[in-house]
Amino acid sequence: MKKLPVFTLGVEEEYQIIDPNTRDLRSHLSKIVDGAKIILNEQVKAEMHQSVVEVGTNICKSVAEAKEEITFLRRKIVELADKQDLIVGGAGTHPFAKWQDQLITDDPRYHNIVNELQDAARSNLIFGMHCHVGIENREIGLQLMNQACYFLPHIFALSTNSPFWEGRQTGYKSFRTKVFDKFPRTGLPEYFDSVSSYDNYLETLVKTNCIDNPKKIWWDLRLHPFYDTIEFRICDMSLTVEETMCIVAIIQAIVAKLYKLTQQNTSFNIYRLALIKENKFRAARYGIDNHMIDFGLQKEVETKALIIELLEFIDDVVDELGSREQISYVHEIMKNGTGADKQLAVFEKTGDLTKVVDFITSEFTKGI
C-alpha cells in the first residue's frame, strides 16, 4: 500500500484574557500581544476585541509536534498575562461578559469590519479553534472539503464548550455558533465542482465589493484562499490542550482517510447541506448527548455511536499518522463530557458563574 503524504498541521486558538478579581473579560491593551511578539514573532496576534489573544502554531509535520507547540504557546501567554496581573481561559464564550463593555482593537481591519457589520461585529465576542491541514493539490483539496463537510457536526459536537452567554444558561452546548451566525458567509460551505468555480466565486465577491479579500469567507470549512490547506473552523475553543489535540488528530485523520479513498478511485458520499445542517443544529444544541441523523440509514442514531463509527472509519490511517494516543482521548471526552458539560456541572453544583470562570482558567493550564 502506497504511503500517505505528510498532512501538515497548523492550529490556531483564541484565548480569553480575564481579570482575576472580577473574573470578567479585560482588555490587555495589546501588552500581552506586544510582549509575545518579541518571543513568538507572528505566532500571536490581537483579535477584534481587546480581551482576546489569538495564537497559531508554525507548520507542524505531526500531531505530536503541534501538541508541543500549543503547550508552549499556552504557557507563554499565561506567563505574559501573569505579568499584567491577568489570567487566561479557553472556552467558546465567556460565561457572563457583556459584549457592550468590550473595547475594539484599534486597527483599520477591525474598524472596517465594524463599520460594515455594525452590532453583528461588535457582539461577536466568541472564541474558536481552527485547524489547517496541508494539501498540496488544490483540486484534491476541494474534493476533500466537499466530502469532509459530512463530518463537521461530529467534530463540532466533541468541541462544544459555550453553554453560557451574557450571564444566562442558553440551553445550547455551543451558543458560540449562534452568535457567529449573524455574520455573512458563515456556516457550512457551499459545494463546488472545481477549483476554477470556487476561485470564480471568490473573484466575483471581491470584484463586486462584497469583500475586500478572500479571507472574509468565514465558513466552518474552507479551502484556504492563500495557503495550500483546508481549514476547519467549526470548533469551539477547548478547555485543555488534550481536548484540542484530540480534535486536531481526528480532523487530520479524516482528511487522510478521504485522501486515501480518492487514491483508490472511490470517495465518500456527498450529502445535501440542508441535511448536514440538521446535524449541526443537534450538535450545537446537545453536544455529544442525544441523537444525530445517519443519512445512509435515514434514521436517528445516538451521537456517541456515530462518533465510534467515525473512529472505525479513520482507524486504518491513525497509526501511519502517529496519532493514536491523541485520538484515543475521545473516549475520555465521551465518558466525562465536553467542555460545555463540565461548565454546566460546575454551575449546577455552585450556582455561581464566577466559579465557572475559575474552572475554565484552571483547566486552561492543565498539562502545561
Please indicate, yes or no, if residue 1 is contained in any of the structural domains: no
Judge whether residue 123 has pLDDT over 90.
no
- Give me the mean pLDDT over the 11-37 stretch: 90
Domain total for the chain?
Answer: 1
Please indicate, yes or no, if residue 100 is contained in any of the structural domains: yes
Please indicate, yes or no, if residue 325 is contained in any of the structural domains: yes
Checking DSSP bridges between strand 87-89 and strand 44-46, what pairing results, if any? unpaired
pLDDT at position 120: 81
Please indicate, yes or no, if residue 123 is contained in any of the structural domains: yes
Residue 111, CA distances (Å) to 48, 108, 270 in order: 9, 5, 39
Distance (Å, whole) CA 41 – CA 56: 11
Contacts of 73-78 spanning 24+ positions with Cβ under 8 A: 73/13, 73/40, 73/43, 73/44, 74/13, 74/15, 74/241, 74/364, 74/365, 74/368, 75/365, 75/368, 76/36, 76/39, 76/40, 77/15, 77/32, 77/36, 77/44, 77/53, 78/364, 78/365, 78/368
Judge whether residue 121 has pLDDT over 90.
no
pTM as predicted: 0.96
- Give me the mean pLDDT over the 77-103 stretch: 94
Judge whether residue 292 has pLDDT over 80.
yes
Please indicate, yes or no, if residue 157 is contained in any of the structural domains: yes
Across 336-353, b (16+ Cβ under 10 Å) vs e yields ebbbbbbbbebbeeeeeb
Please indicate, yes or no, if residue 143 is contained in any of the structural domains: yes
Residue 176 pLDDT class (50, 70, 90 cuts): very high
Range of the domain at 44: 9-363
Judge whether residue 1 has pLDDT over 70.
no
Please indicate, yes or no, if residue 223 is contained in any of the structural domains: yes
- Give me the mean pLDDT over the 39-55 stretch: 87
What's the mean pLDDT when you consider all of the chain? 94
CATH number, domain with residue 97: 3.30.590.20
| Residues facing residue 164 across a β-bridge | 169
- 3-class secondary structure, 316: helix
Task: Give pLDDT tens digits for 303-324.
Answer: 999 999 999 999 999 999 999 9
Please indicate, yes or no, if residue 3 is contained in any of the structural domains: no
pLDDT at position 47: 86
- Give me the mean pLDDT over the 54-72 stretch: 97
